[in-house]
Structure 1
Amino acid sequence: MAFHDLPADARPREKLLARGPAALSDTELLALLLRTGLAGRHVLQLAQDVLDACGGIAGLLHADGEALRKIRGLGGTAKRAELLAVMELARRAMAQRLAERPAFETPDAVAQYLQLHLAHKPHEVFAVLFLDTRHHLLAMEELFRGTLAQTSVYPREVVQRALHHGAAAVVLAHNHPSGDVQPSRADLALTESLRAALALLDMRVLDHVIVGPGRFLSMAQQGLL
């Protein structure tokens, strides 16, 4: 069933134009992107099916093309391509915001940006935000995958990438797929090791952020850095 088959007061497009996008639920906003449903499932039902399969809107923002392909109703390329494009626009919008303003004027934006990139990955990923002298974002790179420890994250490679970007400071980040964002002793030891290595080149580690689905912890805010 398409939008024009729904009752007028149930059409997300008309509701958005009359009351603004904030008046729409996650399901209704997603339905606007999907446009049409399936045989026996109108578009609002399909949108809810997609959100249920992804674990909500946050999960959808982290889903890749292969994960979307497995959802009934997204087997075709058009809907998947549109969803992936919207998700990438969200990431780029956050990156632009961090590039224009000092990162620690907007700590929530830093956390949201990292959650978009890392929180729902099934494996641990270690990433670095490289910042200029005004703490604007230069680049983000995912440098290592797998269980984090001093032996699996190499300070030399982090230093090399920081020099490549001409960074004056960095924010370290990694995800905990378990959802528990409390730092382990290995996380704390790794942070200290990287801080010491970067300090030799007068580069500051401003924070180490641990993210999980819907949660984050800033070591700087917790007084652990």
Structure 2
Amino acid sequence: MRTGRRDKSAVEIGRELLRLNRNDLNELGKRTVRELMKIKGIGLAKAVTIAASLELGRRRQSAAALKKPVVKDSRTAAAYLGPLLEDYNYEVFVVLYLNQAGRIKQEDIEILSQGGISSTVVDPRIIFKNALELGASSLIVCHNHPSGSLQPSQADKNLTTKLHNGAKLLDIKLLDHIIVGGKTYFSFADSGLLQT
């Protein structure tokens, strides 16, 4: 925060910011720059600094929890991806490209698609192009449901079927489609909804 305003110190503004977010850093992490700027004493520069700090914290948490883990199951994948996706207020879609041993091949997890509050559009051709370029043996796809509901939509099911069929043609295994919402997740594989 560095500086305050005439009637409040930087510490007091910080306390107000936390209080408005129920003293919960996870809630604060969901705020946009524009929302942060609604607090008197937080301009664009402070809002961007706060948002950047929270993003660094998210990345550190994810990296510290699992640094390029061997993905053995849905729990491992969700533990790795959950911290990266939990604060988005709109749907985002990511893919883990794995080698034969289940180790993540890509250097950074990239958001492949982002959309609105209730959906995002995913192009399977991009997923398979990346898989071939990385020499992936298998993949796990994952997206978030900002509402916290873990129930897969019909569009989620259709996409999973399309990805499963495309992967089969390329001799790549689609291991799972995971939906994260809050601190929990839904696994197509664990629920028997992934064709084998």
TM-score range, shorter chain: 0.7 to 0.9
Q: Does the 8 Å contact 2:140/2:174 carry over to 1?
A: yes
Alignment partner, residue 83 of structure 2? 116
After superposition, residues 149-160 of structure 1 pair within 5 angstroms as: 152-160=121-129
Alignment partner, residue 60 of structure 1? 28
Superposed CA deviations along residues 161-217 of structure 1, whole A, max 9, x for unmatched, are 212222222111112222211112221121121011112222222221112233322
Q: Does the 8 Å contact 1:131/1:137 carry over to 2?
A: yes
Alignment partner, residue 136 of structure 1? 103
Q: Secondary structure at the match of 1:114?
A: helix
Q: Percent identity?
A: 33
Alpha-carbon distance change, 93 to 165 in structure 1, aligned in 2, over 3 angstroms: farther
- The answer for unaligned runs of 5 or more in structure 1 is 1-33
Q: Secondary structure at the match of 1:188?
A: helix
Q: Secondary structure at the match of 2:90?
A: coil
Alignment partner, residue 200 of structure 1? 169
Q: Secondary structure at the match of 2:96?
A: strand
Alignment partner, residue 20 of structure 1? none
Task: Give the deviation of 1:49 after TM superposition.
Answer: 2.9
After superposition, residues 24-43 of structure 1 pair within 5 angstroms as: 39-40=7-8, 43=11
Alpha-carbon distance change, 131 to 37 in structure 1, aligned in 2, over 3 angstroms: farther
Superposed CA deviations along residues 39-98 of structure 1, whole A, max 9, x for unmatched, are 347736733533634883223334454443443443263575266235324314524654
Q: CA RMSD in A?
A: 3.3
Q: Does the 8 Å contact 1:98/1:137 carry over to 2?
A: no
Alpha-carbon distance change, 80 to 173 in structure 1, aligned in 2, over 3 angstroms: same
Alignment partner, residue 163 of structure 1? 132
Q: Secondary structure at the match of 1:138?
A: coil
For 2:51 and 2:3, locate their aligned partners in 1 and report how far apart those are by CA, in whole Å.
14
Q: Does the 8 Å contact 1:37/1:46 carry over to 2?
A: no
In our comparison, the structure showing a higher alpha carbon Rg is: 1
Higher helix share: 1
After superposition, residues 65-76 of structure 1 pair within 5 angstroms as: 65-75=33-43
Q: Secondary structure at the match of 1:207?
A: strand
1:220 maps onto 2:193 in alignment = no
Task: Give the deviation of 1:106 after TM superposition.
Answer: 8.2
Specify the code of the residue in structure 2 equivalent to 1:43. Answer: V
Aligned residue-pair number = 189
Structure 2 residue corresponding to 1:91, chosen from 37, 41, 59: 59
1:185 maps onto 2:166 in alignment = no
